[in-house]
Structure formats: structure tokens, C-alpha cells
């Protein structure tokens, strides 16, 4: 019988563990300290808890950390790690060093149910939600863990489709009893799920990134089927009316597809629909995946698109392409491993 994992539990959940185990209530903060600050590997290392109590705890619980099963490294220093989750599924995690920054890109689901046409993860279908343990294990078990300066929830899956576990992981990352990271160092991405985005904004202080990709409803729906139930106008009104403080940022991700969403008409419509929202647009070059005909515009066209938006008053940047030689498109590495396992 497998033991329950302590790593990934919030302070309230650890308090419940102490009650069930017969430990004094104050032991919950001691356990949290060992898990998230002293970074132990076993319950036996919790030396300020009596040996008898550690034995009681060990009967039903374990720390619950696991190393990546493999990785690939790019010539630009980017690494993609493969983790086994949900017993027999695989997810990938990216480590992206950049001068004085080092970012980890976390996955929140195995596969994805959103079905975005340009995404390899979506082609896997939905395989399951990751627990807070499995989300944070990517962070804690990363070999470059001590170098990290930023976290983005932009890996496999839709974070807001797994909101309870994502919020738990964010609580642990940002709480004083946890890792005590500033929320301004963490960004959570979403396709724009209107029914839960308000809950995320209310319950978290982390940055928000919205996958936009087109300012036109019909065109966006073709790229992102979830748009059928999440109209762009309603989504933008929700964001426009939310009281963002000066420390919190909202940005829009915009993958450029040649001849599809890169015209002057798109520039003008972006300016119109984003009017009144203090935001940034991050332009992303499309990385091709097998079986799709989409292409990225040439470099000059990408720069011209960016400069046109900046000239119209929308802060726009181009995200540097990283890890192209190791399959930069999210989902390629895990799909390859899944196919190998299923043979």
C-alpha cells in the first residue's frame, strides 16, 4: 500500500495530518519548515520531532519527492526534463537560463483537454490533473533548483482547469511558512477560462498571462476551441474591470502565424479590444510540430508587427526562441516517451 505524500501539502493540510497522527498541533509548522525550508529527503531527518512521533508519521506518510527520468539539453543552455506522474504518464518541465534570470516552466496537467490546434500537448488528449505534489516536485527536484529566479505555469496543460491544485502549489510557494517567494516572480498562463479566472485573480497575487493569438472571435475559436464558451469580449471585460495593483501584471501571449494573424487588420483590432487594459503583449514565434501546416513569419515581419503595436501605445516584446534544437514546442518530449512506452 502506497504512503501519502507530505510534500505539496499546505499548512492547514499538515495540521490535519498532525491530528490524525496524534502529533501536537504545533508540529505542523515544524513539518512545513522541514519540507519547504530545510528541504529534507526523509521523515527521519525531522530531528525536532520525537523519534516515536516520526515513526508514527512514517507509518502512513512519506516525503514524496522524485527525480526526473531523463532530460535533453539545448545548445543555448535550455533544458527539458521528463517526469513520470500519475503512475504511468509523463510531463515535461523546462529550465530556461537567461543572463541573471533562471526560469522554470511548470506543467499542471498530463495532456490537455483544451484542444488548441497548434499545441502538441493538446494532441495527447487529457490524461489527468497533477497534484500539488507533482506540480511542486518539478520545482524542488530540478537539478538547477537553487538557481531559479522565476516560475511560469506555461508547460503542459491548462492551469486554471486544475485550479484547486494550482492554488495549493502557489500558496506553498508564496507563504511565509513555505518557500516565501514573491508572487511577482510567478506567472500563471491560461487560455482564458472565464468561469474560473476571477477565482484565480481573487485568491492569488501572481501575474496572469492570457493566450490571445487573435483579436477576432471567429478566428480565435478556430485556433482555440475553448473560445466557443469563453467569448473574447467577456474575457477582456472581466480583466478590464479587475483591480490590478501596481505590483501585479497582466500580459497577453500572441503566437504569430504567417498569413493568419499577422496583418495590419490584426494590429488595429488588438489596439481596439485592449483599450483600457494596462498590459503587455508577448509575441511568440511559432515552432512547428509534426502534421501541421502553420508557419512562423520571417524575422523582419515579426519585428515589424511588434514595432507597429508599440507605436500604437501597446507595450510589446518578442519572446526569445529557446531550446529549438531539443523540441521547443511543449509536449514533444513527453509525446515521444509516451509513444515509446505504448509500443
Residues whose CB falls within 8 Å of the CB of residue 279, separated by 6 or more in sequence, listed in order: 249, 250, 251, 252, 314, 315
Question: 105, 119, 279, 330: which is the annotated catalytic residue?
Answer: 330
d(CA 238, CA 233): 9
112 catalytic per annotation: no
330 catalytic per annotation: yes
Burial 41-61 (b: 16+ CB within 10 A, else e): eebeebeebeeebbebbbeeb
How crowded is the C-beta side of 123, counted as CA atoms within 13 Å? 18
- 53-60 contacts: CB < 8 A, separation 24 or more? 53/21, 53/22, 53/23, 53/27, 56/21, 56/22, 56/23, 57/17, 57/21, 57/23, 60/3, 60/4, 60/21
Question: 62, 92, 158, 206: which is the annotated catalytic residue?
Answer: 92
Catalytic residue numbers, as ranges? 92, 330
Amino acid at each position: 500500500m502506497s504512503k501519502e505524500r507530505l510534500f505539496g501539502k499546505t499548512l492547514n493540510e499538515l495540521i490535519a495530518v498532525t491530528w490524525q497522527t496524534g502529533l501536537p498541533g504545533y508540529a505542523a509548522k515544524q513539518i512545513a519548515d522541514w519540507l519547504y525550508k530545510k528541504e529534507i529527503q526523509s521523515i527521519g531527518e525531522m530531528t525536532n520531532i520525537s523519534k516515536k512521533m516520526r515513526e508514527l508519521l512514517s507509518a502512513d506518510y512519506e516525503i514524496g519527492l522524485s527525480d526526473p527520468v531523463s532530460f535533453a539539453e539545448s545548445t543555448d543552455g535550455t533544458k527539458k526534463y521528463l517526469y513520470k506522474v500519475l503512475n504511468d504518464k509523463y510531463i515535461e518541465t523546462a529550465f530556461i537560463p537567461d543572463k541573471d534570470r533562471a526560469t522554470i516552466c511548470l506543467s499542471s496537467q498530463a495532456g490537455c483537454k483544451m484542444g488548441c490546434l497548434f499545441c502538441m500537448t493538446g494532441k495527447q488528449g487529457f490524461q489527468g490533473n497533477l497534484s500539488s505534489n507533482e506540480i511542486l516536485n518539478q520545482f524542488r527536484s530540478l537539478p538547477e533548483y537553487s538557481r531559479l529566479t522565476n516560475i511560469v505555469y506555461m508547460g503542459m496543460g491548462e492551469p486554471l482547469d486544475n485550479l484547486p491544485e494550482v492554488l495549493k502549489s502557489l500558496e506553498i510557494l508564496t507563504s511565509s511558512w513555505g518557500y516565501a517567494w514573491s508572487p511577482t516572480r510567478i506567472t500563471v498562463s491560461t487560455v482564458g477560462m472565464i468561469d474560473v479566472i476571477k477565482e484565480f485573480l481573487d485568491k492569488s497575487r501572481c501575474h496572469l498571462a492570457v493566450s490571445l493569438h487573435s483579436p477576432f472571435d471567429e478566428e480565435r475559436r478556430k485556433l482555440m476551441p475553448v473560445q466557443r464558451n469563453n467569448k473574447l469580449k467577456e474575457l477582456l471585460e472581466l480583466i478590464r474591470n479587475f483591480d490590478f495593483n501596481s505590483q501585479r501584471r497582466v500580459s497577453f501571449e500572441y503566437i504569430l502565424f504567417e498569413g493568419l494573424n499577422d496583418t495590419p487588420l490584426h494590429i488595429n483590432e488588438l489596439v481596439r479590444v485592449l483599450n483600457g487594459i494596462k498590459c503587455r503583449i508577448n509575441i511568440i514565434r511559432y515552432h512547428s510540430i509534426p502534421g501541421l501546416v502553420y508557419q512562423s513569419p520571417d524575422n523582419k515581419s515579426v519585428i515589424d508587427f511588434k514595432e507597429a503595436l508599440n507605436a500604437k501605445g501597446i507595450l510589446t516584446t518578442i519572446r526569445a526562441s529557446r531550446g529549438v534544437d531539443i523540441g521547443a514546442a511543449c509536449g514533444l518530449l513527453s509525446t515521444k516517451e509516451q509513444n515509446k512506452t505504448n509500443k
